[in-house]
């Protein structure tokens, strides 16, 4: 079984330490390289689709989360408030209150809408130790988050556009969703008690799903405290299901923060807030990617994309120059020198690297390298410039 906790340590992707604490993993160089490649891809995908990127603090006053409703409905999952200078501050459990304040910070017109804000930001959950596990359940979360502020009649289209981006990202990452879930309000004080608001938000999500011809399941008690959501569920190799990506329609927080824009009629109107996360938290995403790919990541986000293998010490200078040129071409390249074992042993130890470049005496003399692919197939030696261009074209995501 491809358990990400075992593979993550074997592949030097991440680790933990008791002095840092449970549920607080740290990323090692290989894992950080994978993470950065995914971050860059999602950032560019969002930019190309009308999102403006922002940054916000991981702290906020307790009053912020009282206004957003998190303190009343969600405080059991939050870290306790901290007293600083006579004021109480909270590690944020969500990014949406900060983005709501960004919208409110300037006068808005209907001409400014839809306003699409995106952020890769930290948030924190006071999870109990018994439920923590590897990267799939953590206390410090890096979330690919975003919020679209739009008129009510544009909300369904924005939900559908967010689903388009989610499906594009999943395709690039090799993620195959198990099912779409419409997560609805359950019983109890956890949920905002406004049936009309819930009904309106649910109708928007259903409209977007049905317009796409998308089959979905409905589940009570899985919605956010302030509104329903579409959850894209995935299943790991052990058969365990989890939520990876989400789209939510929020008619609650715009009122709590008194958000408004000037409409064509010059009157004030309340926007809808569409929450969306294309790939969810980077921690849960990484756990899933490690398990479905078994560490053999697609070339564009593999931690090392090309490894250079000099046959003997005599070819090391040529191999070092090849690595330098590969890095300059934008590849994550490294060298496995002869003192790390026989050529066969080095090939086996780097079997997960997409491209292996073997440099023997003939190749070094001609400025070439012989290419081996991860599936074991080999190609004839080619000039270095030609090889680098070929690899660079295949080691980039498509948009």
Q: Which CATH number fits the domain that encloses residue 384?
A: 3.40.50.800
Mean pLDDT of 187-216: 92
Residues 173, 257, single domain; the answer is yes
Largest CA distance in the chain: 78
Contact of 387 with 371, CB cutoff 8 Å: yes
Asked whether residue 140 is assigned to any structural domain, the reply reads yes
Residues 190, 262, single domain; the answer is yes
Residues 106, 207, single domain; the answer is yes
Asked whether residue 386 is assigned to any structural domain, the reply reads yes
Contact of 42 with 278, CB cutoff 8 Å: yes
Asked whether residue 298 is assigned to any structural domain, the reply reads no
Q: At what angle do helices 316-328 and 384-394 cross, to 10 degrees?
A: 40
Residue 133, pLDDT score: 79
Q: Rounded distance, CA 339 to CA 365, Å?
A: 21
Q: Rounded distance, CA 68 to CA 53, Å?
A: 22
| Cβ atoms within 10 Å, residue 84 | 10
Residues 66, 134, single domain; the answer is yes
Residue 178, pLDDT score: 94
Residues 99, 247, single domain; the answer is yes
Residues 338, 258, single domain; the answer is no
Contact of 248 with 227, CB cutoff 8 Å: yes
- Give the number of domains in the chain: 2
The domain of 51 spans: 4-293
Asked whether residue 340 is assigned to any structural domain, the reply reads yes
| pLDDT of 127 higher than 90 | no
Q: Rounded distance, CA 216 to CA 6, Å?
A: 33
Where is the domain boundary, 269, 293, 317? 293
Asked whether residue 50 is assigned to any structural domain, the reply reads yes
pTM for the predicted model, two decimal places: 0.94
Residue 261, pLDDT score: 98
pLDDT digits (tens, 9 = 90+) for 362-386: 999 999 999 999 999 999 999 999 9
Task: Choose between 132 and 57: higher pLDDT.
Answer: 57
Residues 228, 348, single domain; the answer is no
Residues 282, 309, single domain; the answer is no
Contact of 218 with 211, CB cutoff 8 Å: no
Where is the domain boundary, 273, 293, 313? 293
CATH number for the domain harbouring residue 124: 3.30.930.10
50 falls in which pLDDT band (50, 70, 90)? very high
Residues 152, 281, single domain; the answer is yes
């Amino acid at each position: 079984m491809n358990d990400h906790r075992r593979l993550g340590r074997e592949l030097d992707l991440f680790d933990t330490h008791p002095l840092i604490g449970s549920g607080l993993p740290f990323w090692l160089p290989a894992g950080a390289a994978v993470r950065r490649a995914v971050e860059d891809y999602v950032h560019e995908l969002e930019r190309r689709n009308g999102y403006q990127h922002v940054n916000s603090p991981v702290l906020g006053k307790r009053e912020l989360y009282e206004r957003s409703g998190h303190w009343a409905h969600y405080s059991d999952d939050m870290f306790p408030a901290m007293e600083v200078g006579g004021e109480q501050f909270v590690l944020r459990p969500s990014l949406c209150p900060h983005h709501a304040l960004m919208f409110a910070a300037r006068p808005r017109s209907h001409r400014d809408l839809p306003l699409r804000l995106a952020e890769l930001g930290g948030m924190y959950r006071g999870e109990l130790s018994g439920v923590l596990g590897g990267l799939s359940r953590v206390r410090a979360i890096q979330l690919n988050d975003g919020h679209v502020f739009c008129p009510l009649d544009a909300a369904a289209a924005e939900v559908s556009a967010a689903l388009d981006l989610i499906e594009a990202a999943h395709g690039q990452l090799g993620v195959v969703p198990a099912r779409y879930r419409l997560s609805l309000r359950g019983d109890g004080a956890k949920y905002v008690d406004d049936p009309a608001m819930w009904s309106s938000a649910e109708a928007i999500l259903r409209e977007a799903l049905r317009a796409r011809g998308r089959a979905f399941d409905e589940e009570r008690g899985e919605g956010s405290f302030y509104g329903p959501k579409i959850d894209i569920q995935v299943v790991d190799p052990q058969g365990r299901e989890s939520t990876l990506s989400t789209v939510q329609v929020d008619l609650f927080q715009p009122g709590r923060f008194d958000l408004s824009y000037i409409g064509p009629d010059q009157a004030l109107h309340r926007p809808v807030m569409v929450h969306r996360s294309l790939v969810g938290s980077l921690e849960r995403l990484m756990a899933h990617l490690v398990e479905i790919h078994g560490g053999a990541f697609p070339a564009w986000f593999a931690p090392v994309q090309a490894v250079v293998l000099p046959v003997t010490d005599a070819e090391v200078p040529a191999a070092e120059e090849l690595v330098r040129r590969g890095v300059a071409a934008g590849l994550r390249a490294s060298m496995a020198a002869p003192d790390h074992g026989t050529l066969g042993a080095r090939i086996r130890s780097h079997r997960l690297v997409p491209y292996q470049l073997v440099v023997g005496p003939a190749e070094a003399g001609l400025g070439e390298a012989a290419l081996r692919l991860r599936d074991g197939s080999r190609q004839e030696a080619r000039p270095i410039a030609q090889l680098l261009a070929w690899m660079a074209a295949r080691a980039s995501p498509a948009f």
